[in-house]
Chain A
Amino acid sequence: MTMPPMLDCDSVMRQLWDFLDGELDADRINAIQDHLKMCERCHPHAEFERTFLRALAQARREPANPGGLAARVRNALRERGFSPA
C-alpha cells in the first residue's frame, strides 16, 4: 500500500476555504487536517480564518416574531384562494 503524498503549504492554503466550508472529500479533509496538525505556518492561518468565519456566522439574525409572520403569510395566501385542507 502506498501512502498518499503529503500536501505542501501552498496546496493547503489554496484549498483552505473549501476545507473550512466542508466542501472537500474525506481523503482531502484528512490530508489537510494532518498537515495543519504539524505545520506551524498553516495552523495559525487556519485558526485565523476559522475565527473569521465564526464571526460572520454570528451576523445571522433571527426574525423578531416568526409566529406572527407565519400567520400573516397564511392569511395573505388565503386571500388568494389558498386552502390546503
Chain B
Amino acid sequence: MPPAPRDDARFEREALCWLPDVSRFALSLTRDDTEADDLVQDTYLIAYEHWGQYVPGSQCRAWLFTICRNHFYRSRIRAERQVPTEAPEMEALAAAAVHSGARAEGLDDVFERSEVMDAIEAAIAELPAPFRDVVVLVDVNDHTYDTASAVLGVPIGTVRSRLFRARRLLQEQLIDHARDAGIRRAERTPPTGERQ
C-alpha cells in the first residue's frame, strides 16, 4: 500500500510562511549567515519529513523552532545541562541590586553606551545554553513566555526563572565589560559659550 500523500498545500500554508521567523531564530543560534541558512534548510526538510506528526491548528511556529533548536544542538553535540535557578522573584530582586551597584559606579547609562552595545551579542553567545535559548527567544526575537515554553518544552515557571537569571548574568557581564573598558558616566558637554 503506498504511503499516505503529504498535504503539501497545508505545509506551504502553515509551515513555509514562518521561514523568515525560523531564519532569524537560526541566525540568533548560529551567529553565522551560512550556518544559519543550512540550519533553516535542514529544519524544513526535517519538518517536511515529519509533517504527519504536526497537529493541525497547534503552534506550527513553535514546532519549527523546536526542530531548529534540537537540530542545532544535535549537530554540535551539546546536551542541555540542568541549571540551578532561584525563584523568578528572587532573580528580579537581584536585578535591582545590579542596578544599584551600577548607579553607584556612575554606570547607570551603561546599556546606552556603544561600547557595551557592541558586546551584547558575544555576551549572549557565552551564556550557558539553557539561558541563552530563552534570551534568544524572548529578548532577541520578541516571543512570549508561552511560545518559549512550547519551543523549549519546559513550564512557563522555568522560562521565567531562566530568563530572569540570564538577564542578571548578562547585566553583570556587560557591567564588568564596561568597567574593564574604563567606561564611566558620559561627561556632559557644555553648550557652546558655556564656561566650565
Residue ranges of A at the interface with B (Cβ–Cβ < 8 Å) = 10, 13-18, 21, 23, 44-45, 48-49, 51-66, 69-70, 72-74, 76-77, 80-85
Contact = CB atoms under 8 A, between A and B. Distances in A.
Contacts of B170: 52, 56
B161 to A, nearest CB: 11
List 9 A-B pairs, minimum CB-CB distance, nearest first: A84-B12, A14-B89, A56-B139, A63-B23, A55-B111, A84-B8, A51-B111, A52-B111, A48-B99
Contact of B135 (A21, A23, A49, A56): A56
B138 A21 contact: yes
23 contacts: A14-B89, A16-B92, A17-B91, A21-B144, A21-B145, A48-B108, A48-B111, A51-B112, A55-B111, A55-B116, A56-B120, A56-B170, A59-B28, A59-B121, A59-B140, A60-B140, A62-B27, A63-B20, A69-B19, A70-B16, A73-B19, A73-B41, A77-B44
A57 B142 contact: yes
B154 interface: no
B60 to A, nearest CB: 15
A24 to B, nearest CB: 11
Contacts of A51: 109, 111-112
Nearest to A84: B12
A61 B24 contact: yes
Interface of B is mostly: helix
A38 B184 CA distance: 28
B67 interface: no
A76 B139 contact: no
A85 B10 CA distance: 10
Contact of B27 (A15, A45, A63, A80): A63
Contact of B167 (A17, A45, A84): A17
A55 B120 contact: yes
Interface string B116-147: 11001100100000000001001111101100
